[in-house]
Amino acid sequence: MNSPETYYRDHWVTIEPERLEAYEQMFRWRPEMEPLIAPAEIASGHVVLDYGCGPGWLAIEIAQRVGAAGHVYGVDVNADFLARAAEHASAQGVGDRMTFHRALDERIPLSDASVEWVITKNVLEYVSDLHATLLELRRVLRPGGRLHVVDSDWGMLAVEPLGAAAIAELFAAASIAYRTPLIGRKLFGALRAAGFADVRVQILASADTRGHFVPIVTNMAAYARASGRLPSETIDRLLGALDVALKEGTYLLVLPQFLVTGTA
């Protein structure tokens, strides 16, 4: 592992092929994700930035909505994601209305006041300097343009029947993977401090009982393992209990998503 102090960033800058493949599937756009982006009222002709676009699936969905008159910029810290995103965009026939840029720090290679919407989904928990990033997102928005943030709050994760103590222990070890793991509850104040007006907060929480969100736990387990802060046997025992719960039909996972929107 790289340094624990910078792991939250390093594990996105360099992604092993196996994890890259897993993310391709995890981050695919699915219609049931609609409520997460609904507060961003994307319309035909809009110019939108998807900050932390990963392999591009959400950005491509937005590109379809803005139509040929609009444009979508995708920005990410990982070069492989950006290459894949550009390939997917061409394959989906929207490559001509999308531009991808790599950003290695909070600076975004776009001019002042150049976009109408910024969407950033499950990204701000990883940025080194949340305030500087929010100021930069505000800089690229046109006056009156809107920022829409979707993020988790890892302190609110519940996985049954594993129990709160076991999840808290796993989270404590895995937290090296996040710069601001409790970001959900902090977004309102952070957007206000960065000068956004009309900041609105909604929380969406659904209970997964079918196992769709199991990768959330396996991902956390991988981070906990990388941290070396939790014995391997403890992590194996937790994952074993998760398997049993799935088989016995007693598994339930809730991870609330904060949807926070503000005006530049």
Ligand X SMILES: C[S@@+](CC[C@H](N)C(=O)[O-])C[C@H]1O[C@@H](n2cnc3c(N)ncnc32)[C@H](O)[C@@H]1O
Contact set with ligand X (CB under 6 A): 12, 27, 52-54, 58, 75-78, 81, 103, 121-123, 126-127
List Cβ<8 Å contacts ≥24 apart for 181-184.
181/125, 181/154, 181/155, 182/153, 182/154, 182/155, 183/124, 183/125, 183/130, 183/151, 183/152, 183/153, 183/258, 184/151, 184/152, 184/153, 184/156, 184/256, 184/257, 184/258
Query: CB 127 → ligand X: shortest distance, Å?
Result: 4
Residue closer to ligand X, measured from CB, 36 or 173: 36
Residue closer to ligand X, measured from CB, 119 or 245: 119
Residue closer to ligand X, measured from CB, 46 or 121: 121
Residue closer to ligand X, measured from CB, 105 or 236: 105
Query: CB 11 → ligand X: shortest distance, Å?
Result: 9
* Helix, strand, coil shares, percent, the chain, to 5: 45, 20, 30
Instruction: Count how many Cα atoms sit within 13 Å of the Cα of residue 12 in the half-sphere of its side chain.
Output: 26
Query: CB 135 → ligand X: shortest distance, Å?
Result: 14
Query: CB 203 → ligand X: shortest distance, Å?
Result: 17
Query: CB 52 → ligand X: shortest distance, Å?
Result: 3
Residue closer to ligand X, measured from CB, 52 or 70: 52
CA-to-CA dists, residue 89 to 36, 94, 108, angstroms? 22, 5, 21
